[in-house]
Amino acid sequence: MKKITILFILLLFVLQSKAQNIVAVEKAVDYWDAGTGIPVGTYLKDINNLFAPYVGTWKGTINNKTYTFFITKITESSNGRIVDKLIIYHTIFDHTVGYIIEDSRIGKARPHITGRFFQKNLAYYVLTYIGQNSKCGRNGEVFIKKASATTMLLKLSAYGEVGDVRRCPGGQKEVQVLPTESFVTLTKQ
């Protein structure tokens, strides 16, 4: 009886130990490369505090537009996976027209820019962009990169995928409002 009890306790211990698998968040790209996705029971955790330098408010101007990005670290839990990631709320002030042309903080407030993974060499953190009226082409990947302790670079690689252009304003694909040709240099506020 004593042996059975001990075995039972050991079994409980083993099962408990296997309940989760903590993996460094910079390994997320490996799951992407393998094409397998994140296994159930995995916690992609920012154990090396890679996100810390990005968290905060960043501001910069390019192409007559002033960008303000509010970057936060979140821990997201879904379908048995837990993932640390960065999310970005933002505003874009267009000096040509004199008002904010995209603001992810109002209305059905939601982050338009959501973290995916660090590249293997940690050069860039890659995020998904689902902009305002994304079905008309404002979608793609955002790359961010620390340039110094107080500056950061950001650029959009646009997918430009459109559901049905006839249903878009003026029957036209939306023009990208994030910088696509070159990086905007952002300064920490």
How far apart, in whole angstroms, are the C-alpha atoms of residue 159 and residue 178? 12
Options 30, 47, 95, 97; binder of other proteins; rule CB under 8 A = 47
Q: Which is nearer to other proteins, 51 or 58 (CB)?
A: 51
How far apart, in whole angstroms, are the C-alpha atoms of residue 165 and residue 157? 20
Please choose, from the candidates 49, 48, 119, 41, the residue with its C-alpha nearest in 3D space to the C-alpha of residue 81: 41
Minimum distance from residue 73 beta carbon to other proteins (Å): 6
Site for other proteins in 2-21 (CB under 8 A): 2, 5-6, 9-10, 12-13, 16-17, 19-20
Vertex 163: Cα angle to 69 and 160 (nearest 5):
45
Options 7, 30, 64, 76; binder of other proteins; rule CB under 8 A = 76
Stretch that binds other proteins, among 60-68, 93-101, 123-131 (CB under 8 A): 123-131
Please choose, from the candidates 124, 106, 104, 126, the residue with its C-alpha nearest in 3D space to the C-alpha of residue 115: 126
Binding flag, residue 101, other proteins (CB under 8 A): no
Binding flag, residue 116, other proteins (CB under 8 A): yes
Binding flag, residue 179, other proteins (CB under 8 A): no
Stretch that binds other proteins, among 24-32, 58-66, 94-102 (CB under 8 A): 24-32
Options 63, 93, 141, 187; binder of other proteins; rule CB under 8 A = 141
How far apart, in whole angstroms, are the C-alpha atoms of residue 45 and residue 36? 18
Stretch that binds other proteins, among 59-67, 93-101, 159-167 (CB under 8 A): 159-167
Q: How far from 24 is each of 43, 84, 172, CA to CA, in Å?
A: 8, 9, 43
How far apart, in whole angstroms, are the C-alpha atoms of residue 117 and residue 44? 10
